[in-house]
A = this chain, B = another copy of it.
């Protein structure tokens, strides 16, 4: 069961993501990446122009599709409600499922993807921060607007903070879930994703409904 031989560009992207996930983005040098990927040192500049270009490409490759799937899932819930206020649990599931499922599916990156994504959400690197804000901004906006509809009567400031409490909690748990597995290469079984989605949804729904 040999891995398919990827071309230089893709091998750099994969190796860079794995090393970024393990050691943090700014702690990984171009030399370490090219050595681990078994390509020449100059290949990074040849294909991505610069180290920053590589970082941007690695982030974009994961953040863009994920945020897009979240937006689609949220929009599907809104459409399904047919004008009525959307169900809270469906909103929460649409928000969290794409990330949890991909982080637990080895074929889609699994723990390495999850750990890398968590790094991105907390990294001080300005390129990473810009890309994350750019793509997840629309997700957060939709998520918040739909929560306002689904939790009527709650002061919007309270709801805004609670949404961020949930986002931060989800990211933190994804970190715990992937921190060991990402480096050891141990496989996560996709069937577990449902369990974690349910856990998060019931937790979040209760926390959002209660009055202060």
Interface residues, chain A, CB within 8 Å of chain B? 23-24, 26-27, 119, 122-125, 158, 161-162, 164-173, 175-176, 198-200, 202-207, 209-212
Copies of this protein chain in the complex: 2
Give the secondary structure class of A's interface. Answer: helix
Closest to A211 in B: B202
Q: Is the Cβ of B199 less than 8 Å from the Cβ of A203?
A: no
13 contacts between A and B (CB under 8 A): A24-B124, A27-B125, A122-B175, A161-B199, A164-B173, A164-B176, A165-B172, A166-B169, A168-B169, A168-B171, A203-B210, A206-B207, A206-B209
Q: Inside 8 A of A170's CB, which chain B residues have their CB?
A: 165, 168
- Other A-B contacts than A168-B169, A168-B172, 15 sampled, CB-CB below 8 A, are A24-B26, A26-B26, A158-B199, A164-B169, A164-B172, A164-B173, A165-B169, A165-B172, A165-B200, A165-B203, A167-B169, A169-B169, A198-B212, A199-B212, A202-B211
